Amino acid sequence: MKRWFVGVLLTPILMGVAQADPAMNACILSKMATSDDTVTVGDIRAICSADISSQKQESFDPVTLPAVKRAEEQTISLDGDDATSIKTADGSALTRRLVLEKSQSNNPFAFLPHRPNYFIFSNNVASYNEAPFEASDPGNDYDFQPWESKFQISLKLPVVRGLFNNRADAFIAYTNRSFWQMFNNDNSQVFRDSNHEPEAWLSFANDTELFGFKNSLINVGFNHQSNGQSGELSRSWNRIFAEFVVEKGDFYFAVRPWYRIPERDSSDDNPDIEKYMGNFDFTSVYKYGDHSFDLMIRNNLRSDNKGATQLGWSFPLYKNFRGYVQWFNGYGESLIDYDHRINSIGFGIQFSDWL
């Protein structure tokens, strides 16, 4: 009823601007038919503006138009009158993601994608680390195969919005990454490792800008990661982190340093994990049309250099499904291998992207 009433009020206005901007008019009418009643007209206009801007940019020739200027910055309200307002460039991939999340998160029981969700078939060019398994069960011949499937499920839930004078939102999230020896019939198709990562954080809106790059978000929170095992196979650690999210158009990157919360020596399953997993990671994503390219770098910044690099490429495959290629080289692809170097490449399906 509310949507019908708002539509009646807006129809004369939309008809009046139809000749001036028919694409915007059509987009607003379409979004109104599918959006939640609590989504504001400003939210809908922001989504439509980002869609139209993206379509226009895809039609530009980067050779003949190398200096196409983006629209002026505007403030987008994510929560109506009581919203966290985020000032950002029109057409920004990050802003579009934030506005879309707001339009989908009015249901308190609705989870949102957090990190990418995917299912891929992966091949490890190096060898898997069987030493922890042999120490845990000396009589068992595991004989892990290089081919396995790897999948990630990552969801988040906004707990409270509009904190600290409408400058911050509180989130909780859970990420599961599993490594399944699905082709290893001789070894009962075991799950080689499953990593569980619950976390909670405060996300602060920001508009600090330098050389055209804008620090849009600052996240501060707590992160736990473990593999749910015991004895020789147990791996876990707790961290406090700060994450600085920077964007420029369709390019996004985040720097996340962390501090490991100390544990007692008697209960620490992996006292040297920082040596291999490092003390920060750098993640970047570039959107080019329907394609997305991501990079993750993790390092300890020590002379005895350890760390990891991961490259990903997602692309349209079929309707809502996207193809995904991922290459990983380094330490810590899974917790059981935190101190063992892995070099793997995989191909599969991605269900949600970073942006």
- Evaluated on CA atoms 210, 215, 220, 223, the torsion sign reads negative
Dist CA 308 CA 297 (whole Å):
6
Identify the domain boundary among 41, 69, 104.
104
Are 37 and 131 in a shared domain? no
Residues for the chain: how many in total? 355
224 is catalytic: yes
Identify the domain boundary among 76, 104, 132.
104
Are 61 and 197 in a shared domain? no
Are 167 and 70 in a shared domain? no
Nearest to 178 by CA among 122, 132, 224: 122
Q: Specify the CATH number for the domain of residue 201.
A: 2.40.230.10
Are 197 and 245 in a shared domain? yes
Are 99 and 116 in a shared domain? no
* pLDDT of amino acid 32: 61
Nearest to 170 by CA among 196, 197, 203: 203
What is the phi-psi region of residue 166: left when phi exceeds 0, alpha when psi lies from -120 to 50, beta otherwise? left
Region of poorest pLDDT, from 49-58, 113-122, 318-327, 331-340: 49-58
* pLDDT of amino acid 260: 96
Give the tens place of pLDDT for each residue, 284-300: 999 999 999 999 999 98
* pLDDT of amino acid 139: 77
* pLDDT of amino acid 71: 35
* pLDDT of amino acid 163: 93
Are 99 and 120 in a shared domain? no
Catalytic residue among 54, 85, 136, 226: 226
Are 224 and 164 in a shared domain? yes
Give the tens place of pLDDT for each residue, 114-170: 999 999 999 988 878 888 998 888 877 788 899 999 999 999 999 998 999 989 999
Global pTM value: 0.73
Are 52 and 156 in a shared domain? no
Query: Stretch 182-211: mean pLDDT, rounded?
Result: 92
Nearest to 335 by CA among 234, 205, 262: 234
At 59, list the tokens. 């039609």
Are 293 and 204 in a shared domain? yes
Are 80 and 223 in a shared domain? no
Mean pLDDT across the chain: 80
291 is catalytic: no
* pLDDT of amino acid 353: 81
* pLDDT of amino acid 215: 94
Identify the domain boundary among 42, 77, 104.
104
Are 316 and 240 in a shared domain? yes
Catalytic residue among 224, 303, 334, 344: 224
3-class SS string, the chain = CHHHHHHHHHHHHHHHHCCCCHHHHHHHHHHHHHCCCCCCHHHHHHHHHHHHHHHHHHCCCCCCCCCCCCCCCEEEECCHHHCCEEEECCCCHHHHHHHHHHHHCCCCCCCEECCCEEEEEEEECCCCCCHHHHHHCCCCCCCCCCEEEEEEEEEEEEEEEEHHHHCEEEEEEEEEEEEECCCCHHHCCCEEEEEEEEEEEEEEEEEEEECCEEEEEEEEEEEEEECCCCHHHCCEEEEEEEEEEEEECCEEEEEEEEEECCCCCCCCCCCCHHHHHCCEEEEEEEEECCEEEEEEEEECCCCCCCEEEEEEEEEEEECCEEEEEEEEEECCCCHHHCCCCEEEEEEEEEEECCC
Are 91 and 133 in a shared domain? no
* Total domains, the chain: 2
* pLDDT of amino acid 19: 46
- The whole domain housing 191 covers 112-352
- Of the two residues 23 and 282, the one the predictor is more confident about is 282
